[in-house]
Amino acid sequence: MGAVAHKAKLYEQVAERLEEAIAAGTLRAGDKLPSVRQLSLRERVSISTVLQAYVHLESLGLIETRPQSGHYVRRRERPQLAEPQVSRPVASATAVSVSALVASVYKSMGDARIVPFGAASPSPELLPTRRLYRELGALTRDTQDRSILYDVLPGCLELRQQLARRSLDWGCALSPEDFITTCGTSEAIHLCLLAVARPGDTIAIESPAYYGTLQAIEALGLKALEIPCCPRNGMQMEALEAALTRRRIAAVLMVPSFSNPVGSCMPDVRRQRLVNLLATHDVPLIEDDIYGDLHFGPERPRTCKAFDTRGNVMLCGSFSKTLAPGFRVGYVAPGRFRERVELLKFSNSVATATLPQYAIARFLQSGGYDRHLRALRRRLAAQVERMASAVAEFFPEGTRVTRPTGGVLLWVELPQQVDSLALHAKALEAGISIAPGPIFSARMDTYRHCFRLSCGHPWTPRIEAAMSTLGALARGLA
């Protein structure tokens, strides 16, 4: 299978070698890069290929062109804005009713004419679309009738085998039998909630929380208890522990690695404390690990599941943020709740789509996924930094922004008088979408001066112009 592994375009290979030299410090800020002709001779590629590589690196914000002088490693000197403070949600459970507001915001996210700062996914141009299409084509020829049949639960064996191998990177040692494939992470979380909670029960969540989490809680007639969160380290253990002693909580649902929308990443010591705390109270943890592979540092964060010795952690994930959002291929390792989740999966959707599962399994087996991830993480790290720099440059004084170490999102806290719903409306008129703060809380009067900003699209003049316009609109509301 190694022979069919994803092959980067020639200019991407040249750019990747320069990226690595910049990351390693071999090439430092202000250093002049080889001339186009010199690099062409050194790399044994055409001048056109070198020019493409330089354009690519410039789009990442790694280098800059100086007229009549050449190409240089870009100096990354920008004012560093303060981070948002620890959130302070109301300390009581509440029914959720965010779906109508989310639907009105979400409509704009699929419009190609709109600059998509509201969508939490990498741009399609960063994903291995052609390779996946080739895998699908080969599968329709190779598997014949099997490709159009229902996939028998617990899901594609080849994919579950690959997930078991990858679980070693997560700090776990899971087997294929531990996994059930799902229609994305959303279904995995929905099944976990159904397995452990009944209408009227309380689910403890991060605050702010992903609106999809809130919609799932709303759909199942559950209540949300929002727990304060630090923009760097995630859920505050002291607040959660206090909540567990005050009332019955059916489950804790959270994104420990690069949370949506804040981007926080819980340190290992806190993850272990969390798992032990919940085991003591016999409260299951539903762990959404959808962004875990998008770390900017050298090591992937260990999952909370890595510290679980009682089957109390229900680990959910998917390939929607790293490979193909439209494939809707996810998974859950539900621990001691496995039998219940599998029964619910069958009654909920019978099976996960067959062909996408096999295509992703083949891609993982070939080694193409790891190569793709290395390139994707570098691109996203550069894009997040570039977008944060633009926030510092264009937005009103007093703005705060997060400093995530992975993922694809920034959480922007504007001066208190700026209403993000008003900003959302004005931005749409200008052809820009954002995700306003109120959709990230069960109490829709919360986070009115905040919004989530996606960094999933490569930096281009269009993106720069949109950030300038968005900042001007925010200044106008300040």
pLDDT digits (tens, 9 = 90+) for 189-232: 999 999 999 999 999 999 999 999 999 999 999 999 999 999 99
- 91-100, 195-204, 350-359, 437-446 — which is least confidently predicted? 91-100
Residue 228: its pLDDT value, please? 96
In angstroms, the CA 318 to CA 129 distance is 16
What confidence tier does 109 reach under pLDDT thresholds 50, 70, 90?
Answer: low
Phi and psi (nearest 5°) for 69?
-125, -45
How many CB atoms sit inside 10 A of residue 133's CB?
12
Residue 324 above 60 pLDDT? yes
Nearest alpha-carbon partner for 210 in 105, 120, 95, 302: 120
Strand pairing partners for 228? 207
Quote the tokens at residue 224. 């949300």
- DSSP code for 439: G
Average pLDDT over residues 274-286: 97
Residue 94 above 70 pLDDT? yes
**Strand 450-454 and strand 435-436: pairing?**
antiparallel
Residue 97 above 90 pLDDT? no
How many CB atoms sit inside 10 A of residue 296's CB?
17
Strand runs (DSSP E) across 89-210, as ranges? Answer: 94-95, 115-116, 180-182, 202-207
% pLDDT > 90, the chain: 67
In angstroms, the CA 249 to CA 243 distance is 8
Residue 425: its pLDDT value, please? 93
In angstroms, the CA 418 to CA 228 distance is 22
Average pLDDT over residues 426-431: 94
Residue 72 above 50 pLDDT? yes
Residues 63 and 382 sit within 8 Å (Cβ to Cβ): no
CB proximity list for 91: less than 8 A, separation 6 or greater = 239, 243
- DSSP code for 428: H
Check the CA dihedral 129-255-329-157 and report its sign. positive
Residue 471 above 50 pLDDT? yes
- pLDDT tens-place string over residues 337-366: 999 999 999 998 989 988 899 999 999 998
Residue 61: its pLDDT value, please? 76
Residue 401: its pLDDT value, please? 97
Residue 133: its pLDDT value, please? 84
- pLDDT tens-place string over residues 114-171: 999 998 889 999 999 888 888 888 877 776 666 667 778 999 999 999 999 999 999 9
In angstroms, the CA 25 to CA 362 distance is 36
In angstroms, the CA 429 to CA 47 distance is 42
In angstroms, the CA 441 to CA 380 distance is 26
Distances (CA, A) of 407 to 321, 399, 403: 9, 21, 11
Phi and psi (nearest 5°) for 206?
-70, 160
Whole-number average pLDDT of the chain: 90
The overall longest dimension of the chain from CA atoms, in Å, is: 70
Nearest alpha-carbon partner for 284 in 192, 375, 417, 402: 192
Distances (CA, A) of 390 to 103, 128, 387, 398: 28, 28, 5, 14
- Whose tokens are 């980067």? That residue is 8
Residue 443: its pLDDT value, please? 87
In angstroms, the CA 435 to CA 440 distance is 9
What confidence tier does 477 reach under pLDDT thresholds 50, 70, 90?
Answer: very high
Average pLDDT over residues 423-452: 93
- Whose tokens are 């306003």? That residue is 436
Residue 307: its pLDDT value, please? 97
Residue 7: its pLDDT value, please? 46
- 90-94, 99-103, 164-168, 383-387 — which is least confidently predicted? 99-103
Which is more confident, 2 or 395? 395
Whether omega before 256 lies within 30 degrees of 0, making that bond cis, reads no
What confidence tier does 6 reach under pLDDT thresholds 50, 70, 90?
Answer: very low
Residue 76: its pLDDT value, please? 64
In angstroms, the CA 335 to CA 329 distance is 20
CA angle 107, 113, 119 (to 5 degrees): 50
In angstroms, the CA 280 to CA 230 distance is 24
CB proximity list for 275: less than 8 A, separation 6 or greater = 285, 304, 307, 308, 312, 313
Average pLDDT over residues 62-89: 83
Average pLDDT over residues 382-411: 94
What confidence tier does 5 reach under pLDDT thresholds 50, 70, 90?
Answer: very low
Residue 4 above 60 pLDDT? no
Instruction: Print burial letters for 40-60: b (CB count within 10 Å at least 16), e (below 16).
Output: beebebeeebbebbbebbbbb
Residue 144: its pLDDT value, please? 61
How many CB atoms sit inside 10 A of residue 374's CB?
13
Reported residue count of the chain is: 478
Phi and psi (nearest 5°) for 318?
-165, 180
% pLDDT > 70, the chain: 95
pTM value is 0.85
Instruction: Print burial letters for 138-169: b (CB count within 10 Å at least 16), e (below 16).
Output: ebeeeeeeebeeebeebbbbbbbbbbbebbee
Nearest alpha-carbon partner for 341 in 332, 329, 349, 350: 332
